Amino acid sequence: MAFNQGTYQGIVASTYDIWFSGDRFDDTDFYKKFMDEVPGAALEIGCGTGRLLLPYLTEGYDVEGVDCSAEMLELCTLKASARGVSPVLHNQLIQELRLPKTYKTIYIPMASLMCVSERDEAIRALAGIFNHLDYGGQVLIPLFIPRNVNTDEWKVSRSGIRSDGAEVILSSISSVIFHDQVQTNQDKYEVLKDGELLDTVFTTSKLRWYGKYEFIMMLEKIGFQAIVVYGGYNLQPLNDDQNFMIFRARK
C-alpha cells in the first residue's frame, strides 16, 4: 500500500491510457476547428500521454506539448515512436512556463488549469500563456463548477484492464469547500488479478474552480480580449443550468 500526494505519476500515469484510449474524443474536433481558424504553431498544455497531441501530429498539425509529469511525457514519446511522429515536448509546470517561442494557439484540455489549486499561481499561469501567444493568437480553456460532490463513501468511477491482464479499479471520495472554491479528491487505485488484490494506491489532489464573470475578469486583467464563453464542444451558448464552460480569448 502506498500514499502519494502528487498526481500524474506512478500508477496514475501508467493507467491513464486505460481510461483514455483511441484517437477521437468529445473535444478532438473542437480544438482542430480553432487551430484551422487561426493557422500556425500550437501548444497543448497538459498533453499527458498524447491523447490529443499525437493524433493531431499524425494529421499534420504543428503542435507542441507541455506537461508537469515526466512519466506521462515518457509514455507519450513511446507512443509517438510507434506512430512514426516526433513530438516536441516540454516538462514544465503551467505556472512556470518558459519556452523559446510563441504560438498562434494555446489550449488546456480536460480543465487542467483547475489543477493549479492556488489562485495566485493560476494567475501566473494565465500571464505566462499570454506571454507565449503571438499577437492575435488565441487561448482555449475549459473549466467546470462541481455539483453535489461531497461523498463519505468510496464510489467506483472507472475500471479497466492493463496490458498485463490485471484489472484496475478507480474509486473516489470528494469534498468541497464552497467559499474557497476548492474541491479535494481522494482516489483509490486497486489492482487485481485472478481475484487477488495485488496493490492499493491512494492519491490526493485539489481543484480550484471559477465563476464565469470571475474568470473573464482574470483574463481581462492580464490583457486578453475578445473573450467568448461556450457551453460545450459544439459551441452552444452557455445556459443557466450548465456547470461546464469553455473560454476563448485573444491576445
Query: Residue 5: pLDDT above 90?
Result: no
- 136, 124, 77, 56: CA torsion to nearest 10: -30
The answer to whether 53 and 63 are in contact (CB under 8 A) is yes
What CATH number labels 155-207?
2.20.25
Count of Cβ atoms closer than 10 Å to residue 88 Cβ: 15
Matching fold, domains 2-145+209-250 and 155-207: no
**pTM (two decimals):** 0.94
**10 is written with which cell numbers?**
506512478
**71 is written with which cell numbers?**
512519466
CATH architecture of 2-145+209-250: 3-Layer(aba) Sandwich (3.40)
Chain mean pLDDT for the chain = 93
Does residue 23 or residue 93 have the better pLDDT? 93
- Mean pLDDT along residues 13-39: 92
Report the candidate in 221, 13, 57 with the shortest Cα–Cα distance to residue 126.
221
3-class state of residue 31 by DSSP: helix
What whole-number percentage of the chain has pLDDT above 90?
84
Query: Residue 76: pLDDT above 80?
Result: yes
Provide the residue ranges of all domains of the chain, joining segments of one domain with +.
2-145+209-250, 155-207
Give me the pLDDT at residue 244, please: 95
Give me the pLDDT at residue 23, please: 74
Contacts of 55 (CB under 8 A, 6+ apart): 23, 24, 28
CA 40: distance to chain centroid? 22
Q: How confident is the model at residue 100 (pLDDT cuts 50, 70, 90)?
A: very high
Give me the pLDDT at residue 2, please: 45
Among 98-107, 124-133, 170-179, the range scoring the smallest mean pLDDT is: 170-179
- Mean pLDDT along residues 132-154: 91
Residue 236 CA neighbour count, 13 Å, CB half: 9
